[in-house]
Structure 1
Amino acid sequence: MAVTLKVSFEDAAPQAALARASFGAVDMTELMDIVGTVLVNGAVERISSTNVSPDGVPWPKSLRAMLGGGDDGEPGAGNAGPTLHDTGRLMRSITSEAEPTRVAIGSNLIYAGVHQTGATITPKTKGALFFTLANGEQVIATSVKIPARPYLGISQDERADIEDLSLQYFADLLDQELPR
């Protein structure tokens, strides 16, 4: 070989850049908090307006939403609002919790999981369920199937936003001084 170029990461600048990136990867709470905001906003948008799952599949419309015909979400106003948005309580309950290497989003409402994954409701003590539908019809049933209407998850747009935010996070780390 007539000529050789050797590059080593022993030089101060590459070592400092790697140290900043490494340090930033140990505790990404700041990034995870931003990712949580993206995911909460996505869930809120699904409930408040789009009524589609994170993978783009439209939710089955609820009887209440079909009868209401409106979208202001105020109960008893004649405008029942979109599916999963009667009072807005579910939408307002969605929060995120950031940790150094992950973020969790969800709701603490007892019925939140039923809407996310669907459920079959059966009576606990009696032989049948007794309830009134949104149209006023009274029903007696041995079980009721609630379809899944996933509102938590990562859509393609959210995935792209998270990727961009992550790249920017590490790019910013490479431009900073190493914390002491």
Structure 2
Amino acid sequence: MSGIQIEVDASQLSIIADRFNRLGDLDKHELLDSLGALGVSQTQQRIATEKRSPDGAPWAPNRRGGSILMLMGHLLGSLSHQVGSDQVSWGSNLVYAAIHQRGGTIRPKRAKRLAFRVGNQMVFARQVNIPARPYLGFSSANLAEIRETVHAWIEERLK
């Protein structure tokens, strides 16, 4: 036979075998729930203080000149996470959440113009173009924090 082959019987290394056996008993739901809570927290921080997309690009300013994505705090407060059998997701169920993430054009459904207030002034428009202000996603710092959380979680359970 040509080449090289190395075999290791992990059962002979009792401490490693014991730890590998414990890995199979870990409650994935608990880890995913922790990661979902962390993802929500990271997203809330992005909306409340960072005002940047996950890739670091600053969000386009808004017409009213106020805090971007934080008029009344509804988007911030609507963020939640959901754990599945092998996955976790987080986001918002608000109707307007997707247009803030992706951007788009809003047109009136039943009238000729949209009507809304900017400050003390009424504005009437045929359409409004909303720039994308991505708030969901991972920055490099977010990914590092997630990695640290996973490593710490596993390490704690292998003690």
Q: TM-score range by the shorter chain?
A: 0.7 to 0.9
Unpaired segments ≥5 residues, structure 2: 1-5
In structure 1, the partner of 2:140 is 156
In structure 2, the partner of 1:170 is 154
Partner Cα distance (2:17, 2:134) in 1? 45
Partner Cα distance (2:10, 2:125) in 1? 73
Partner Cα distance (1:170, 1:28) in 2? 10
Give the secondary structure class of the aligned counterpart of 2:25.
helix
Partner Cα distance (1:37, 1:51) in 2? 20
Give the partner amino acid of 2:57: V
Give the partner amino acid of 1:111: Y
Give the partner amino acid of 1:37: A
Residue in structure 2 matching 1:18, options 4, 20, 24: 20
C-alpha deviations, 1:127-163, integer Å up to 9, x for none?
A: x32323414153232x321111111111111110110
Question: 1:100 offset after TM fit, Å?
Answer: 4.0
Percent of residue pairs bearing the same amino acid type: 32
Partner Cα distance (2:155, 2:76) in 1? 33
C-alpha deviations, 1:49-80, integer Å up to 9, x for none?
A: 2211111111001112x1xxxxxxxxxxxxxx
TM-score by length of 1: 0.75
Give the secondary structure class of the aligned counterpart of 1:62.
coil
Partner Cα distance (1:122, 1:19) in 2? 58
Q: CA RMSD in A?
A: 2.1
C-alpha deviations, 1:77-117, integer Å up to 9, x for none?
A: xxxx4111010111001011123422110111111111111
| Equivalent residues of 2:108, 2:114 under 8 A apart | no
Partner Cα distance (1:46, 1:14) in 2? 40
Question: 1:6 offset after TM fit, Å?
Answer: 7.2
Count, aligned residues: 152
Unpaired segments ≥5 residues, structure 1: 67-80, 176-180
In structure 2, the partner of 1:37 is 37
1:8 aligns with 2:2: no
Structure 1 segments of 4+ aligned residues over 4 angstroms from their partners? none
